[in-house]
Amino acid sequence: MDRVTQHNDQQAQRKAAMAVLAHAEAGEIAARLRSLALPDHQDLREPENGLVMLRGRIGGDGAPFNLGEATVSRAAVRLVSGEVGFGYTLGRDREKVRLIALCDALVQSRDFGAAVERDVIAPLREQLLARRKKVAAETAATKVDFYTMVRGEG
């Protein structure tokens, strides 16, 4: 595999992991990470909160406008082996964003990447899909089919 393909695969794996971690609870991530012997790491950027401007468009292709602001948290972690992970999430959960950054760094590690995918990301992905399936089933149970009966009158 050439370097570009390998880099693209790694980026896709990180993106998929971040999508799962962003929707997980901090306690769920921490519980999964406890099963691993974590390497030494340091915070490059302490978890911090801030605001981002949300932009919108009418109809998806209209003129952009400022919709409002959302609170976000971010952090950065470096493993002893040199991998750097970044974490971003909506809200003010500093512990969650630190755990996301740590998982991002671990996913990039040759020594820990497979274990994190197997023991942390995959179980959290299954939980997320199960939750979404349950919500979809509950929503479908309330579905009402409206139809118009056509009478035989001309």
- Backbone dihedral angles phi then psi of residue 152, each to the nearest 5 degrees: -75, 5
Give the model's pLDDT for residue 1.
63
DSSP E strand stretches across 25-140: 41-57, 64-79, 84-90
Give the model's pLDDT for residue 154.
57
Give the model's pLDDT for residue 133.
94
Give the model's pLDDT for residue 89.
94
Say if residues 109 and 124 touch (Cβ distance below 8 Å): no
Give the model's pLDDT for residue 5.
86
Report the candidate in 113, 71, 76, 82 with the shortest Cα–Cα distance to residue 97: 76
The parts of the chain modelled with pLDDT lower than 50 are: none
Give the model's pLDDT for residue 4.
84
Cα dihedral 12, 117, 3, 79, rounded to 10, equals: 110
Give the model's pLDDT for residue 61.
83
pTM metric for this prediction: 0.83
Report the candidate in 115, 106, 125 with the shortest Cα–Cα distance to residue 28: 125
- Note the pLDDT tens digit of each residue in 49-74: 999 999 998 887 888 999 999 999 99
Give the model's pLDDT for residue 115.
92
Sequence-distant contacts of 87-96: CB under 8 A, at least 24 apart: 87/18, 87/21, 87/47, 88/18, 88/22, 89/22, 90/22, 92/49, 93/26, 94/47, 94/48, 94/49, 95/26, 95/30, 95/47, 96/25, 96/26, 96/29
